[in-house]
Amino acid sequence: MLFGAVLLGNAPTIRALEARIEGLEGNVAENVRHYLGSLDAEAYSRARIESEVQRRAREAMRVYGYYEPTFEWQLDESEPPEFVELTIDPGPRVRLEVIDFSLQGEAATDPPFQQAIDDFPLSEGDPLVHAPYDSLRGRLANLSLERGYFEWRYVDRRMEVRPYDESARLYLALDSGPRYRFGEVTLRDSHIERERVLNLTPFAQGDPYLAGELARLNQRLGQTEWFGSVTVRPRLRQGESLALEQRRLGWFQELDVGQPTTADSSDASDVVAGPTLSAMALESAATLGRGDSPQVPIDITVTPADRHQFEAGVGFATDVGPRLRFGWHQPWINSLGHSLDHDLYLSAPEQRFSGVYRMPLENPLRDSYRFQYGFRHRDNEDTQALEATIEAARRWEFDNRWVQTLYVRGTIEDFTQGGEDEQVLLLYPGISWSRTRTRNPTFPSWGDRQRLSFEVSNGAWGSQADFLRMTSETQWIRMVGDDTRLVGRLGLGAIETDDFSKIPPSLRFFAGGDSSVRGYAYESLSPRNEDGLLQGGQQMFTSSAEVQRRVTGDWWGALFVDAGDAFADWGPDDLNKGAGLGVRWVSPVGPIRLDIAHPFDDEDNAWRLHFAIGPEF
């Protein structure tokens, strides 16, 4: 290691030649400086340097249409020279006389190809600039591969420049040939039932080929968590195996994708980067042989995910102090793709153990049955409770990304709230709708989350309390420019009941804490009884507005105002309010938030510190 460092330290450095230019400005001058900046003055004689300066300057100017410039130059007297003084007369600029772009084959009626031509930024009479022409050639070639025109070729590709006439002609003619279509999909080595896996395919045999659809299929297979690796490839020829040796890669490594570029690949509920195939897939696709029917058979090869997966986590928040979490995840337990999760959570005010059994349906990513059980113990402020819960639920996810869940829950809860003891058995159905959208989930630059739920309990089916409960929450994140981030939050809750004493603490409302009204202790805001003990509220309202500003890099400052309370009757005289300053650090392990908040309605505390790790959503 030391020897390598010595060699590196003694390596010769390239002395770039600085160009001091008169007669040019803007992009043309910058391009000349760029071309001359890589000229190593120590590698040439002075005469050769003068020749190289002229040659490179001419090349730099041609791409902007200047083909007949004249130069006066003066090299620095030092050896080797450090700079050159250039006085340039650019001469006349070549202008476009003819622009002739055409499409042949099936691409002539495929809108993205014509759109690419329509987007060409130059018109006849404009000065010649090389870059848009080169960009169009690359864009048409990429579209051909992305959209299944594997026999594409340019039948004419010319740039004719006539400096003496100050004119140029651009010709580009693409013959796309036929558009290939998706062929038979073959699944290999799957431990999950074939039909259940193929239900994830976003295309049918005979549909026009789109690289983005392969990327989407690859992503969907990975999202099931059934597989340790996934390979999705077009086959070279009917009846032949893949030309390239298969590699054992994770599903996320097989296809590199960017943003969707055509309407054909814009599924709002299943957006993936794309449609840009990996070099491996493109090489396979580009050598397809045309048979009687131009179809592309697709091969899917998978390996099982680990059947037992374990994780452990340690965290800290001022609401609950240190916290531990242990998880046992079984992503598949049979050929139907059923899964089972167990979770153990430990903190000072709360300990819980829960399990979820999932039964995916025809669309395993969207529709499922879920059966859940859990045990929880709480000892916080004036709340002591021990509860056991079971739940059966049906889940749907719609194209607009809203998730609907219909469930029936049974709970036995033995609790003491505000000095009053009670034990209650509840059986109640509920329905909820939720949606979370985000860009960059770790520290979103854009996102929002909504949730609305209704639950009802009645003695008619054996429940020991009658109530109707509603909760609603919304949170928004938006960026203003590159360095200002706005965060807003609003929460509502209400319980309608004739006997509030039968409502357990798990269903009552409390406010205050890191993610509620900062400046107040965790769940310390609610109506109190005659002894000053917390009772929990029948209604709840919380709101927050926060402005964050980038200080430097991943460090942000924050200014916030929170207001809210839990109360017994709507229309309280006043809401508890808090405001303060904070720091946000987007660390490698996730965002870290530190806030100092002043509670305006707490005479015993002038300020409170809030600390949490993890994303907002």
**Are residues 112 and 141 both part of a single domain?**
yes
Question: In Å, what is the CA distance from 394 to each residue of 330, 369, 373, 431?
Answer: 20, 5, 15, 10
Q: Phi/psi class of residue 381: alpha, beta or left (left: φ > 0; alpha: ψ in -120 to 50)?
A: left
For residues 516-520, average pLDDT: 95
How many Å apart are CA 84 and CA 263, to the nearest integer? 52
- Indicate the average pLDDT of the chain: 86
**In which residue are the tokens 């990996």 written?**
278
DSSP type of residue 127: B
What tokens does 431 get?
């329905």
The predicted structure's pLDDT at residue 317: 86
Tally the domains of the chain.
4
Residue 321: inside a domain: no
How many Å apart are CA 359 and CA 550, to the nearest integer? 44
pTM: 0.76
Residue 7: inside a domain: no
Q: Is 573 buried (19+), middle (13-18) or exposed (0-12) by CB count in 10 A? A: exposed
**Are residues 395 and 514 both part of a single domain?**
yes
How many Å apart are CA 149 and CA 276, to the nearest integer? 14
The predicted structure's pLDDT at residue 153: 95
For residues 36-41, average pLDDT: 76
User: Confidence band (pLDDT; 50, 70, 90) for 25?
Assistant: confident
Question: In Å, what is the CA distance from 45 to each residue of 48, 52, 381?
Answer: 5, 10, 84
The predicted structure's pLDDT at residue 12: 45
Pick from 156, 175, 194: which residue ends a domain?
175
pLDDT tens-digit readout, 445-459: 999 999 999 999 999
For residues 360-376, average pLDDT: 95
How many Å apart are CA 183 and CA 208, to the nearest integer? 10
Closest CA to 277 of 267, 286, 289: 286
3-state secondary structure of 404: strand
User: Confidence band (pLDDT; 50, 70, 90) for 264?
Assistant: very low
What tokens does 392 get?
């059966």
For residues 16-45, average pLDDT: 80
Phi, psi of 530 (to 5 degrees): -65, -25
pLDDT tens-digit readout, 141-156: 999 999 999 999 999 9
The predicted structure's pLDDT at residue 260: 35
Asked if the model's pLDDT at residue 423 lies above 60, the reply is yes
User: Confidence band (pLDDT; 50, 70, 90) for 15?
Assistant: low
Residue 101: inside a domain: yes
Asked if the model's pLDDT at residue 168 lies above 70, the reply is yes
Pick from 89, 119, 138: which residue ends a domain?
89
User: Confidence band (pLDDT; 50, 70, 90) for 178?
Assistant: very high
For residues 422-429, average pLDDT: 97
Residue 434: inside a domain: yes
**Are residues 425 and 492 both part of a single domain?**
yes
pLDDT tens-digit readout, 284-321: 454 454 445 589 999 999 999 999 999 998 888 888 88
Domain of 101: which CATH number?
A: 3.10.20.310
**Are residues 424 and 516 both part of a single domain?**
yes
Asked if the model's pLDDT at residue 33 lies above 50, the reply is yes
**Are residues 498 and 586 both part of a single domain?**
yes
Closest CA to 339 of 324, 325, 359: 359
- Structural domain range at position 34: 18-89
User: Confidence band (pLDDT; 50, 70, 90) for 86?
Assistant: confident
**Are residues 399 and 470 both part of a single domain?**
yes
3-state secondary structure of 86: strand
Q: Which residues contact 304 (CB under 8 A, 6 or more apart)?
A: 191, 226, 227, 228, 332
Asked if the model's pLDDT at residue 42 lies above 60, the reply is yes
For residues 34-41, average pLDDT: 78
